[in-house]
């Protein structure tokens, strides 16, 4: 993963669905992406918002296919990508093949080549593995007590 410094045309991508344990208003997601672009001297293009249907990536696919206008797509988190690894890899490969990099604002990560997929997959797996709320921690404590 690297950071790129040259001025590029970035398309924002937001979702009305929950991701990574968050439910963030689309306007705030867009604001975070806009700020990320400003900090790096990128040109921000108004976000495309995904459909609310679970596991739908119709909008993301369209953004990736529309590579004539954009050199990158930016979204808040890797948690917005498909959980299914094959679908995720397919989308990322298509983006790269179209000359787009993929930026993740919260994680401060940029996918610029297939070599970056491993890092992204590992982080996704770790995020799914590590308990992230008090209820999960309590369950762990209860199982430890039981043992």
Partner 1 sequence: MPRDSYLTADDEVLGNKFLAEGFVVRPCESLDVLHSLHDSILRDANSWLRSQGIKQTISDLRNSHTSIPNSLVNDIRLHLFAKLNVDSGVRRGYFGLAASLIQSLVGNELAMQNKVNLSVQQPQDQTSILQMHSDVWTGDSPFQVVLWVPLTDSTATNAMFLLPPMESRDAYSRARAGELHSMAEIHDAYMNHVKLIDVPYGSVLIFDSNCLHGNQLNTTSASRWSLNCRVASLLAPSTTPERRLGPYYTPVMIRPATLMGLRAIEQLGLSEQ
Q: Which residues bind partner 1 (CB under 8 A)?
A: 1-3, 5, 20-22, 39-40, 76-79, 85, 106-109, 122-123, 125-134, 136-137, 140
Residues 6+ apart with CB under 8 A from 21: 79, 132, 133
Local structure of 110: helix, strand or coil? strand
Q: Which distant-in-sequence residues (6+ apart) come within 8 Å of 109 by Cβ?
A: 1, 78, 103, 116, 119, 120, 123
40/47 with CB nearer partner 1: 40
C-beta of 27 vs 128, nearer to partner 1:
128
| Closest CB to partner 1 among residues 62, 139 | 139
CB of 21 to partner 1, least distance (A): 3
Q: How far is the CB of 147 from partner 1 (least distance, A)?
A: 17
Helix (H, G, I), strand (E, B) or coil at 145: helix
């Amino acid at each position: 993963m690297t950071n790129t410094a040259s001025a590029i045309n970035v398309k924002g991508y937001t979702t009305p669905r929950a991701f990574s344990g968050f439910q963030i208003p689309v306007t705030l997601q867009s604001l975070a992406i806009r700020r990320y672009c400003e900090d790096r001297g990128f040109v921000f293009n108004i976000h495309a918002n995904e459909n609310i249907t679970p596991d739908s990536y119709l909008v993301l696919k369209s953004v990736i296919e529309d590579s004539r206008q954009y050199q990158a797509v930016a979204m808040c988190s890797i948690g917005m990508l498909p959980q299914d690894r094959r679908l995720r890899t397919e989308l990322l490969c298509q983006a790269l093949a179209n000359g787009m990099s993929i930026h993740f604002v919260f994680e401060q990560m940029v996918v610029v080549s297939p070599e970056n997929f491993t890092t992204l997959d590992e982080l996704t797996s770790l995020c799914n593995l590590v308990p992230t709320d008090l209820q999960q921690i309590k369950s762990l404590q209860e199982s430890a007590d039981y043992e």
